[in-house]
Amino acid sequence: MSAAPALRELQRGFADAVLSRGGDAVHWVAGAGLSPSARLQVYANAIAGTQIDTLRGTYPAVRALVGEDFFEAAAARYRLQHPSTRGNLQAFGGAFADFLATMPEAAALAYLPDVARLEWLRQEAALAAAATALDPATLAAALDDASPLRLVLHPSLRLLASAHPLLTIWRYAIAPGDGRLQLDGRGERVALWRDGGAVAMAALDAASHACIAALAVGCDLDAAHAEGLAADAHFDLAACLRSLLDQSLIVAFTHTGERPA
């Protein structure tokens, strides 16, 4: 065993070794019954297993669609190309959808990256901050005011539009039942939010999706209404707002230039 390096060099070398990035740490390890490389491999295997298990838990539908062997190979490759940069693994799988889109082996499953994006949004929704729903009567009073109104939506709300029927695919992958999956080729727009201790999902029509997306980026209600009408001339703003209220997804409002109420 060579002379011990400075602490920073030792830490960096150990991290490189257990994350499969090479390095000289093997020269600084006492085997004590194992070879130095074998002792380091114990840590490397534990880290790899934890990271792959994290991806399994985050992407159950992707795993069901591609099979365990394909998923494990993809996860093993992903963790080397996208190493964790935080002390916890909550953000570790954030690039997995884009990674799948680059895999030639997955090219035949054109919908797979969007299914992964849906599952990552489920992770984000589950971890989002809490907020108290706005009382419907308070919103009704605010709507009587003629000044421009902005709605603040629940922090857990996420939206995803896809050229593929990703919600239908996700549900089939999680609970396939007895029949075969039947797809009509049309895409789907999905809203996700935390409902108690679970993540809820619902398909949206194009106009509702356009309106809610506009609200989510800070557009006032008139502008969001216009976005909905641009998608469907028969868009019903009142019905869209009732749906948001029913799911406790409106948490505050502002008039132009004011702080959230």
What are φ and ψ of residue 92, in 5° steps? Answer: -65, -35
For residue 30, the model assigns a pLDDT of: 63
Closest CA to 120 of 143, 104, 98: 98
State the pLDDT at residue 209.
98
Q: CA neighbours within 13 Å on the CB side: how many for 35? A: 3
Q: Name the CATH topology of 124-261.
A: Outer Surface Protein A; domain 3 (3.90.930)
Ramachandran quadrant class, 33 (left: phi over 0; alpha: psi -120 to 50; beta: rest) = left
The per-residue pLDDT string of the chain (261 residues; one tens digit each, 9 = 90 and over) reads 556 677 677 666 666 666 666 666 666 666 666 666 666 666 666 777 888 999 999 999 999 999 999 999 999 999 989 887 777 788 899 999 999 999 999 999 999 999 999 999 999 999 999 999 999 999 988 888 767 899 999 999 999 999 999 999 999 999 987 777 777 779 999 999 999 989 999 999 999 999 999 999 999 999 999 999 999 999 999 999 999 999 999 999 998 755 555
**CA atoms of 32 and 186, how far apart (whole Å):** 61
CA distance 232 to 247: 23
Q: What is the pLDDT of residue 44?
A: 67
List phi, psi (to 5°) of 132.
-95, 135
d(CA 220, CA 149): 5
Buried b (16+ CB within 10 A) or exposed e, 86-100: eeeeeebbeebbebb
Q: Which residue has the tokens 């070879």?
A: 35
CA distances from 33 to 10, 13, 92, 220 (A): 21, 22, 34, 68
C-beta of residue 5 within 8 angstroms of C-beta of residue 25: no
37 token code pair: 């490389």
Q: Where in the chain is the domain with CATH 3.90.930?
A: 124-261
d(CA 244, CA 229): 18
The C-alpha atoms of residue 119 and residue 113 are separated, in whole angstroms, by 10
C-alpha span between 179 and 24 (Å, rounded):
55
Strands (E), 74-178: 149-153, 158-162
Which pLDDT does position 47 carry in this prediction? Answer: 76
Residues in the chain: 261
* HEC assignment per residue over 187-212: CEEEEEEEECCEEEEEEECHHHHHHH
- What is the per-residue pLDDT for 45? 67
Q: Are the C-beta atoms of 201 and 169 separated by less than 8 Å?
A: no
